[in-house]
Each structure stands twice: as C-alpha cells, then as structure tokens.
Amino acid sequence: MTTISQVNQGNSYITFLGGLGNMEPLLYEANLIPNFYVRKLKESRLMGVFTPQIILRMYQKISSPIKTPSYMPQISVYYRFGETNRLGDYTVFARFAHHSNGQEGDF
C-alpha cells in the first residue's frame, strides 16, 4: 500500500533559476514533501500518512529575499479491500489538507 500512497502524495524537488510555473524570476524553489507512514503491520489494510509539505522560494531581487514559506500539512487515510496486496485489490483514500502562506488573512 505504500507504493499506492506515493502516487498520490507528490515528490520533493529543488529547481534553480526559474521554478515550476512561476511568474516572478526565482533563484530557487524547494518543495519538500516528506511522508510519514502510520500502520500496525506492513500487511495492514488500513494506513495513515502524515505529510508536512513546505515550499520555499528565493526571488531574484536585490536582497535575494525568501518570502514567507507555504505550509501544506496533509493527513491521508488509505483502506485496501481484500486480504492481500494483489494487483486486483481496490484501495480507497481520503485526504484532509490545509494550505497556508504563513500570513494572517486571505491571500
């Protein structure tokens, strides 16, 4: 089930001199997505994943500022129907997520 969850969780990356899809010129963008798995056994049908995702960006400006990071904590729950990790088993998941730019008020 860990492999199935990795498909839905995303990958960490670091880009230099651009970023992925940003309008403002960047020196770098780092998207850190560590996944922490919670389950009783490797063969368990129920599994939780805690992901404290953080995005850091340094802009190409005179002082090279790092603006407030984006925080996106997520809790995902996976449940596998079936007794084994067979290819034909069905897995459902639910995710609770929050996106914060680290500042008060709407952004």
Q: What is the mean pLDDT of each run of 10 residues along the chain (107 residues)?
A: 68 78 76 88 86 86 76 91 72 88 64
Interatomic CA distance for residues 106 and 99, integer angstroms:
11
pLDDT at 44: 82
- What are the backbone angles phi and psi of residue 13, rounded to the nearest 5°? -155, 160
DSSP β-ladder status, 70-81 and 90-97: antiparallel
pLDDT at site 85:
61
The residue type of 59 is Y
pLDDT at 1: 62
For residue 67, the Cα-to-chain-centroid distance in whole angstroms is: 20
* pLDDT for the residue numbered 99: 81
Distances 17 to 44, 53, 80, 89 between C-alpha atoms, Å: 43, 22, 42, 43
Q: What is the pLDDT at residue 21?
A: 62
pLDDT for the residue 73: 92
- Contact call for residues 69 and 55 (beta carbons, < 8 A): yes
Q: What is the pLDDT, as a whole number, of residue 86?
A: 65
Q: What's this model's pTM, rounded to 2 decimal places?
A: 0.70
